[in-house]
Chains A and B, each alone.
Chain A
Amino acid sequence: MSDFKLDMEVNGRRVSKHTAGHLRLLDFIRDELDLTGTKEGCGAGECGTCSVFVDGKLVKSCLMPVAKANGAKIETIEGLAGTGVLTPVQRAFHKTGASQCGYCIPGMVMAATSALRENPGASAEELKERLGGNICRCTGYTKIFEAVEIARDVIAGRVGTQALEPEGAGDSYIGNNVRRLDAPSKVSGRLRYAGDMTMPHMLHMQVLRSPHAHARIVSIDTSEAEAMPGVECVITADDVPGEDGFGVFVHDQPIMARGSVRYVGEGIAAVAAENVETARRALSKIHVAYEELPAIFDPEEAMQPGAPVIHEYASDNIVKHIPIRKGDVKKGFAEADLIVEETYQTQQVEHAYLEPEAGIAYVDHDDVVTVISPSQNITHHRHMLAKIIDKPINKVRFIMSPVGGGFGGKEDMIYQGMLALAAMKTHRPVRLVYTREESIISTAKRHPARITYKMGLKNDGKITAIQFHMVSDGGAYGMSTEGVMRKAAILSCGPYDVANVQIDTIGVYTNNTPSGAFRTFGAMQAQFATESHLDICAERLGLDPFEIRRINMMRDGAFTHTKQKLGSVSLDEVLTAAETSSGWEAGAPDMRGPARKDLGGPGTREPCSLGARFEASSGKSKRQVA
């Protein structure tokens, strides 16, 4: 490997080291200097979490070979405030609550600092433009931009530093702008996520993943990989001492593929080695013989008789079917003046939290198997792992590291078991950090759904019956599918009082990437269908979309179709607020006046454009053209 002598100044201190010249500046900063405030969110220059100053210019350190920074002055997030008071930008991020999961925040603070250094008077639009290279998945950016504007005004002296002070909780925490206790650790880059943690004598794990959607594993030969210098262990399903299987509702997923693979990206074997490079090279020395099996990718086809069976216990490929019946839908449709039937489809979605999966496992002095990871469900994981590794519960410990974005995607114990097994086999700490690509290919997604919606209505808009049939692709393993089907069934008809309903939600096994928990947990799919359907029905009946909802909405004391009594229902207030703030013109969805009052007004957003920085400097506006 290329040896390179580096001399640089990092956060005001001289650094002189020999290193590999191809190493990314990001790796050098994190691994050699232990400055882990600079994060890796994607490794491909897309997310901005790795932004650092090199000779005063902000760059993405995942795109810079370290040799380029030889002789340069480097400034990282840790260098902004040093050990002193946080900078106005950092304090403003704290003030507005701009840091939520915090993983994008060091990069955001760096980009904001750069923007204000380049143009201390930058307008809100220009700030947005200059922060365009950084992604956040929690905030929706509003609080971040708000923070940068406060910082700009404080730095310019237009407002006093009291603008950075907390507002205080007052009498109640509800409705007041209460500061987050964890924000200083996030805006300063001091908070360590699992991938930032190191332990003495730590090994690095890499995972061999399936290239096939469905195949029988004929054999796995790990001998060549195990013989490599620097490789400490290779683990497969054969290393599981207890009862293998995890999942949120049904424990159908082995720690690593056992006998067969069911989706592209499924873990088959894992290597723990002295460094990541060796572990990656060892993966190519593991020889797996497969016998490909017919695979199925569509849930409707998976339910047909004779379809390939994905799990032996479920010969019909159904993970869970939730039926709900209320009243008499036949009677309800007979009473209807209008019956509308449509099919709605939603797609698979990746959570794309900025922190890819990561964890460290070790076996402590009392033989307690310990796993540190950003798990969203450590107690459940602890119980499952105890069974899998055949240990009493007091010999298994889970420590939850800061979660750099979860959104449901870190509820599943997809890699913690592998780490535990490797730690048990080597008696050394083992760390695994997913790449972004690995995170996307192998972790659970939002359930795609196909919903057939049949609704009967009277001419005055009153709904007489709903038939709701949802088929959802659960992917290769059960994970949260059952819960998602339950929630979708519960929320299927929206907040509307309907006398006759027939609901079926069906989660189905396929050879697609498993579906799991994702924000709303099945509600979004159902609401998309319900609310789209109501708009279509309103149009057919010539009714205002707000009106049709008010006619059917639940009121205080209503019972849902699952017999839950609702003490108070705020839907009317919500509808009024939406109607007012959108500037809605009363009328059916297809009846609009000559000028749309709901477009272009206050509270609406301009279409995306770029070039705010020129408008400031030249006084010219491209918008003059339009």
Chain B
Amino acid sequence: MLTCDQYHMPQTLKEALVLWNNAPDGSRLVAGATDILPWAREGRAGDVHLPAMIDVTKVAELNGYKVADGRVRLGANVVFQQFLEDDTLREHLPCMPYCSVWFADDQIRQQATLAGNIVNASPAADGTPPVLAMNGEIELARLEGESVAVRTLAVQDFVQGPGRTALQPGEIITAVTCDSMAGYGGSFEKVGQRRSLVISAVCATALVMTDPAGQRLEDIRLAIGGIGPVPLRLADIEDKLRSKTISRELITEVSMQPPALVASRTRREYRRWVVRGFVQAAIEDALADAGHPIAPALPKEAEHV
């Protein structure tokens, strides 16, 4: 059971920062709150009493998104369901609808934020690999005297390990920014114990841009999660594929490499098997999403005989 002495709902960033700076030790900042409530239960943290909870979902500066100069700035209050339903976001972040549809369920996606998913820094976070692949940055605000100061960190520098980030005391995430990937095909692969409401054992994302004929890869982005302490960008594989003619053989070949990266402390062998198929599936699904599917090598059923 989660209880607290004070539950604040600030309306402006300044107000939120002042509350957060003055909050007693042990206070928590929340957005969707979809993680903290299940955390404060038997078997995890048990009954938790907090001095204060500061809820940022009514902070106007954190709402909405903006697309400008080839970048998308997602306010920290943007929830996962928006990636499924908002046409502009679907156009500019083509891997995010696939990521979102595998994330929790329709109800939780109405509350859970991308920024919250990243700041939790779970090795299995679904939201982090896509942001990594899209050259994501985290925007952090803090008070400097009376004014609000902002710094920006690349997401790979922000997420440092399981539950560990570069967030400093008094800082609040205000936005996640990433490249606009309009024109790319996107994909997201995930395996867990069931379909909805499951934490990834492994997840992977791909974004591909082909030439108009779909013969050549102009650009590719790949990232993977659930295989070690932090999600990884697969830059060396991207390099092996960029500007190359698309073929199943090439994709199969490069997909053999990532299993070596698996550093998880549990189920390592299983994850190695999954990763190989995932990288291949992520690339192929992204090509299909771009409108240039690779013809299947074998009829599907035949493979299972």
A→B interface (CB under 8 Å): 1-2, 4, 20-22, 24, 43-46, 48, 51, 54, 57-60, 62-65, 67-68, 70, 111, 114-115, 129-130, 132-134, 276-277, 280, 435, 437-438, 441, 592, 594-596, 599-600, 608, 610-611, 613-614, 620-622, 624-626
Contacts of A2 in B (CB 8 A): 4-7, 53
A-B contact pairs, 24 of them (CB 8 A): A1-B5, A2-B4, A43-B37, A44-B41, A45-B38, A45-B108, A48-B105, A51-B107, A60-B111, A63-B32, A63-B33, A63-B34, A65-B55, A70-B9, A132-B197, A133-B197, A437-B41, A594-B305, A600-B301, A608-B195, A614-B97, A614-B98, A620-B289, A621-B288
Residue of chain A at shortest CB distance from B33: A65
Q: Beta-carbon contacts of B60-99 to A below 8 Å, as 1s and 0s?
A: 0000000000000000000001001000000000000110
Contact A595 to B302, CB < 8 A, known contacts A64-B33, A133-B107, A624-B293: yes
Contacts of A130 in B (CB 8 A): 106
Contact between B111 and A626, CB atoms less than 8 A apart:
no
Inter-chain pairs besides A44-B37, A599-B304, 4 sampled, C-beta below 8 Å: A65-B33, A70-B9, A114-B106, A596-B304
Question: Would you call B293 and A438 a contact (CB within 8 A)?
Answer: no
Q: Given that A132-B195, A280-B47, A596-B304 are contacting pairs, would A435 and B42 also be in contact in the complex, using a CB cutoff of 8 Å?
A: yes
* Complex Cα spacing A10 to B225, Å: 41
A2 to B9, CA, bound (A): 12
Task: Please give, as numbers and ranges, the residues of chain A lying within 8 Å of B104 by CB-CB distance.
Answer: 45, 133
Chain A residues with CB under 8 Å of B263's CB are: none
**What is the CA–CA distance of A575 and B57 in the complex, to the nearest angstrom?**
59
Whether A46 and B197, one on each chain, are in contact in the complex, defined by CB atoms closer than 8 angstroms, is: yes
CB of B120 closer than 8 Å to a CB of A: no
Task: Select which of B55, B108, B281 is within 8 A of A63 by beta carbon.
Answer: B108
- Asked if B101 CB lies within 8 Å of chain A CBs, one says yes
Residue numbers in A under 8 Å from B47 (CB-CB): 280
Main SS at interface, chain B: mixed
A59 and B107 contacting across the interface, CB-CB below 8 Å: yes
List 8 tightest A-B contacts by C-beta distance, closest first: A133-B105, A21-B7, A132-B196, A44-B38, A437-B42, A2-B7, A625-B288, A57-B110
B284 close to chain A: CB less than 8 A: yes
B300 is an interface residue with CB less than 8 A from chain A = yes
Residue of B nearest to A626 (CB): B300
Q: Given the complex, which residues of B lie within 8 Å of A435, measured CB to CB?
A: 41-42
Are B305's CB and A596's CB within 8 A?
yes
- Closest Cβ of chain A to B11, distance in Å, is 12
Quick one: CB contact mask for B104-126 with A, threshold 8 Å, 1 for yes? 11111011000000000000000
A58 touches B110 (CB 8 A): yes
A2-B7, A624-B288 known; A277 and B197 CB under 8 Å? no
Given A1-B5, A65-B55, A132-B105, A620:B291 Cβ within 8 A? yes
**Complex contacts, B57 vs chain A, CB 8 Å:** 68
- Least CB distance from B7 to A in Å reads 3
- B288 partner residues in chain A, CB cutoff 8 A: 620-622, 624-625
B102 at the interface (CB under 8 A from A): yes
- With a CB–CB cut-off of 8 A, which chain A residues contact B291? 620
Please tell me if B1 contacts chain A, counting CB pairs below 8 Å: yes
Q: Which residues from chain A contact B9 at a C-beta distance below 8 Å? A: 67-68, 70
In the assembled complex, the Cα of A51 lies from the Cα of B108 at a distance in Å of 10
What residues of A have a CB within 8 angstroms of the CB of B301 in the complex? 595-596, 599-600
Point out the residues of chain B lying under 8 angstroms from A441, CB to CB.
42
Contact status of A611 and B101, CB under 8 A, knowing A51-B107, A133-B197: yes
Task: Please name all residues of chain B whose beta carbon is closer than 8 Å to the beta carbon of A114 when the two chains form the complex.
Answer: 106
Complex: how many Å from CA A2 to CA B7? 6
Closest residue of B by beta carbon distance from A48: B107
B37 touching A437, Cβ below 8 Å: no
CB-based contact A277/B107 at 8 Å: no
Q: Contact: B293 with A625, CB < 8 Å?
A: yes
Contact B4–A21 (Cβ < 8 Å) = yes
Query: Nearest chain B CB to A160's CB is how many angstroms away?
Result: 30
Q: Is B294 interfacial (CB-CB < 8 Å)?
A: yes
Contact indicator B53/A65 (Cβ below 8 Å): yes
Residues of A with C-beta under 8 A to B145:
none
Question: Could you tell me the distance in whole angstroms from the C-beta of B232 to the nearest C-beta in chain A?
Answer: 24
Q: Does B212 contact A (CB under 8 A)?
A: no
A170 to B300, CA, bound (A): 47
Interface residue from A45, A58, A111, A608 paired with B197 (Cβ < 8 Å): A45
Q: In the bound complex, do residue A22 and residue B110 qualify as a contact, i.e. CB atoms below 8 Å apart?
A: no
Q: Which A residues lie within 8 Å of B287 (CB)?
A: 625
Minimal Cβ-Cβ distance residue in A for B97: A614
| B169 in contact (CB, < 8 A) | no
**Interface check B296, CB cutoff 8 A:** yes
Shortest distance between the CB of B188 and any CB in chain A (Å): 9
Bound: A116/B158 CA distance, A: 40
Residues of A within 8 Å of B55, CB to CB, are 65, 67-68
Task: Give the residues in chain A near B53, CB-CB below 8 Å.
Answer: 2, 21-22, 65
Task: Please name the residue on chain A nearest to B4 by beta carbon.
Answer: A22
Cβ-defined contact, A64 with B111, below 8 A: yes
Most buried by A among B7, B97, B305: B7
Partner among A67, A610, A611 whose Cβ is within 8 Å of the Cβ of B7: A67
Contacting residues, chain B, for A621 (C-beta < 8 A): 288
Q: Of A111, A133, A608, which contacts B108 at CB under 8 A?
A: A133
> Does B43 have its Cβ within 8 Å of any Cβ on chain A?
yes
- Are B296 and A68 touching (Cβ within 8 A)? no
Q: Which residue of B lies closest to A63 (CB)?
A: B34
Bound CA span A608–B195, Å:
7
**Is B235 in the interface zone, CB < 8 Å from A?**
no
Question: In the complex the two chains form, is A133's CB within 8 Å of B97's CB?
Answer: no
Of B1, B2, B34, which one neighbours A45 at CB under 8 angstroms? Answer: B34
Cα A94 to Cα B281 in complex, Å, equals: 42
- B137 proximity list for chain A (CB < 8 A): none
A22 to B50, CA, bound (A): 10
Residue B179 CB within 8 A of the other chain: no
Using Cβ atoms and an 8 Å threshold, which residues of chain B touch A46? 197
Q: Does B285 contact A (CB under 8 A)?
A: yes
Instruction: With both chains docked as a complex, state the minimum distance between the C-beta of A24 and any C-beta of chain B, in angstroms.
Output: 7
Please state if B305 and A592 are interface contacts (CB–CB under 8 Å): yes
Residues of A within 8 A of B187 (CB): 622
Nearest Cβ distance between residue B102 and chain A, in whole angstroms?
6
B3 within 8 A of A: yes
Min CB distance B104 to A, Å, is 7
Instruction: Kindly state the separation between the CA atoms of A114 and B106 in the bound complex, as whole angstroms.
Output: 10
Rounded to whole angstroms, the CA-CA distance of A595 and B303 in the bound complex is: 10
